[in-house]
Amino acid sequence: MRPTRAPYIGLTERSDHYWMMRPLDDEHNDAVARFYPYGSRQDGSYPIHHGVEFVNPLGTPVRAVADGEIVVAGGDQIDVLGARDGFYGLVVVLKLDRAMDGMPVYALYGHLSEPRVAVGQRVSAGQVIGLVGETGAAEAPHLHFEVRVGANDYQHTVNPELWLEPRPGYGTLAGVLLSNAGTIVDDEARLIIRSASGAARYETHTYPAVGVNPDPGWLENFGVGDLAAGNWTVQTFHRGQLLEATVNIVAGETTWLEIRLVR
């Protein structure tokens, strides 16, 4: 899905598609955990992350992010939905009523303690569909959340932070890191993102060449949500070059950033 040898062309137009509400309400922790973002390997010892995490206590209600139909509800020991059988434990997959350019869109909820829906059931946005758990390959209670476009399988994930409606006062950053020849850098560059005040500091990585995908509406190779509105500095040291850019994050929107190596 992503060009790595030919010069990056991108899109003539980009626009937000925040079709999904948060899978947890604001009475609970509805912020994406920053320690293991989409497309990263955490400290290098974890598998490439195909989704994002919401850390909440066991039994926290999990909600439908949009109107749609339940296509999976139960264990993943037979129907493999992740890296291997039993990877997500108890799982719910919601197929949205809306499609992107004719492609179906799915939301996956992993590691549940209990699904509260059945296959074929129609649900509305905000409806409780399960409870936070730690089934499958989970080290502690949390919700693993994925967005899949085109097919309901592990190879069709995209960054959920480009689909989840930002929390009030927060926005999203998406962009590309390019070589000096204008091709996508696909060797997982580390990015440091700091608020202007220095009070907030996050790390992420550009996506690897295989395993995860850019969003069809953005064609990014990095993306970070839950950034407070205002100025942020993005810094990377890659291939012997230190690059830095300042961006203004707008609440409720995605800000685009292109960084290019100079040699």
Q: Which residue among the candidates 49, 50, 142, 238 is catalytic per the annotation? A: 142
Burial 148-168 (b: 16+ CB within 10 A, else e): bbbebebebbbbbbbbbebbe
HSE (side-chain half, CA atoms, 13 Å) at 167: 15
CA angle, 109 then 48 then 129, to 5°:
0
- Pull the structure tokens for residue 225: 């949500």
49 is catalytic: no
Using the 8-state DSSP alphabet, how is residue 32 labeled?
A: P
- Pull the structure tokens for residue 114: 């209990």
**Rounded-to-integer distance, Cα 182 and Cα 17, Å:** 27
Helix (H) or strand (E) holding 210: none
Which residues are marked as active site? 142
